[in-house]
A and B are shown apart, each in its own frame.
Chain A
Amino acid sequence: MKLTLKIWRQENPTATGAIHTYELDGVSKDMSFLEMLDLLNEQLVTSGEEPVAFDSDCREGICGMCSLMINGEAHGPEVTTTCQLHMRSFNDGDTITIEPWRAEPFPVLKDLVVDRSAFDRIIQAGGYISANTGSAPEANSVPAPRDKAMRAFNVATCIGCGACVAACPNGSASLFMGAKITHLGELPQGQPERWSRVVDMVGQHDHEGFGGCTNIGECASACPKEIPLDVISQLNKDLRTALKNGH
């Protein structure tokens, strides 16, 4: 396959970036999208141009490190992460535009690499259960209803990649936040801090500069782990209850 790649290049956080165009030949259908970029980088190094910086780590769809807006879609056209997107989803001769996640709280560090530490700070605000090591009771002393445990698991699969923010026209991180609030809120262990958690996390979210949710739904359809939109409803419900109870 031969491709035309239009890639955002930006030297550092303060530099002005621009889209550069590259021609890449010899792409195989079996390559992952990131391996295609590896090939481009190998070619750039040979020609003396600095390779394109992009994030990736596990390359098996679980660490959440990879990102990329591919032809206007977060993680590209399939429901998966960029590292598990394969070139068979594209055609010979295609032009592919590759941009970094765009959001004020995700500043571009270089080329396609962005800073997502805002997510860590949202978790710090309350995305946990306070259980010091050693203080835990016997695991089976508190049964958790199976359906609730299943729901908790389904939304706990969030990988924190930020695709929801990237896809959201409002730049909101409500899906990310809702997933954590629903995960911990569905478990008996999560109840004691349930109301303060939602208030603190939403407060941090707004403070970071993420946009407000208008329930458009781009986030859920961009989510590689298919976290459903109802976690945002759960977030809203918990927030309403919390505020009513004076949190």
Chain B
Amino acid sequence: MAVSGLLFIGFVLGHMYGNLKAFAGEESFNEYAHHLRELGTPMLPYEGFLWIMRVGLIAAVIVHIACAVALWSRAAKARPVKYAVKKNRGSSISSRTMRWGGLTLLLFIVWHLLNFTIVKINPSNGDTGGENPYALVVDTFDTWWMTIIYLVAMVALGLHLHHGTFSSLQTLGLTNSATSRARARAAGWVVAIVVAGGFSLVPLSVLVGIIEK
């Protein structure tokens, strides 16, 4: 779980960085999108790198979900009778919402892939399969409710990363002192704010007109 989670952290950091290309304009962004497909050629075939990434991510998703299901079911079996009253004292919202937050993210990712990768649904006009990624981004986030969906998803992602970053370091046994634990907690904050904040910049900028066609 920790290893697949760290893989996702690396991925979302890279993905977020790529998205910021939107600020450099249509040409630059589309060039980046195209470049991703050509990365590693001619050593790799066209989209080869992308497929390696995709296969890796799909495998990580499977592992991550399998672990989550196993933990969830163990937890359910470990406490079949619930407390009538239960307070939370040492946990954060993020640590308590990992499971529902993870499910939310899963649903979001399905939509996100339909939106930008597989079907390329343009929510502003219902078109599919467009070949201009930049235009698709702008059209999507010009739709106010799409922006809200994405922003909500980023809140979920931020929460997931906030605990997930710390938790993965703890699970890997890297937080054996109060100091290293505090650092891991700080890392959780940094990753959460940078990733969720970075991702949110594009939709917000589209909505307020900083990024436009």
Q: A residues touching B (Cβ–Cβ < 8 Å)?
A: 6, 8, 19, 69, 71-73, 97, 99, 102-105, 167, 169-172, 209-222, 228-230, 232-240
Contact = CB atoms under 8 A, between A and B. Distances in A.
B166 interface: yes
B170 A211 contact: no
B84 interface: yes
B88 A211 contact: no
Nearest to B99: A214
B173 interface: yes
B74 A211 contact: yes
Contacts of A216: 90-91, 95-96, 163
Given A104-B80, A210-B78, A220 B90 contact: yes
Contacts of B110: none
B81 to A, nearest CB: 5
Interface stretch (B32-40, B46-54, B175-183): B175-183
B95 A214 contact: yes
Contacts of B181: 228-230, 233
Given A99-B85, A216-B96, A217-B91, 18 more contacts: A72-B85, A72-B87, A73-B89, A97-B84, A104-B78, A104-B79, A171-B79, A209-B78, A212-B74, A213-B171, A214-B167, A218-B88, A221-B90, A228-B178, A233-B170, A233-B174, A233-B181, A237-B173
B75 interface: yes
Contacts of B172: 236-237, 240
Given A103-B78, A212-B70, A71 B87 contact: yes
The 8 closest A-B pairs by CB, nearest first: A237-B173, A221-B90, A171-B78, A211-B78, A72-B87, A72-B85, A236-B173, A170-B75
Nearest to A232: B170
B119 to A, nearest CB: 34
A240 B170 CA distance: 12
A238 B178 CA distance: 18
A67 B85 CA distance: 16
Contacts of A229: 170, 175, 181
Contacts of A214: 71, 95, 98, 167
A1 B128 CA distance: 71
Contacts of B90: 167, 216-222
A238 to B, nearest CB: 7
Contacts of A103: 78-79
Nearest to A237: B173
A234 B173 contact: yes
B96 A169 contact: yes
Contacts of B178: 228, 230
A218 B89 contact: yes
Nearest to A233: B175
A171 B71 CA distance: 11
B174 to A, nearest CB: 7
A72 B79 contact: no
A238 B173 CA distance: 8
Contacts of A230: 175-178, 180-181
Given A102-B82, A236-B172, A240-B172, A212 B75 contact: yes
Nearest to A182: B176
A220 B167 CA distance: 15
Nearest to B88: A218
Nearest to B81: A102
A218 B77 CA distance: 19
A197 to B, nearest CB: 15
B170 A212 contact: no
17 contacts: A69-B85, A72-B86, A104-B77, A105-B78, A167-B89, A210-B78, A211-B71, A214-B71, A215-B166, A218-B88, A229-B175, A230-B180, A230-B181, A233-B173, A234-B176, A236-B171, A239-B173
Nearest to B68: A214
A69 B71 CA distance: 24
Nearest to A212: B71
A218 B79 CA distance: 15
A104 B75 CA distance: 10
A106 to B, nearest CB: 10
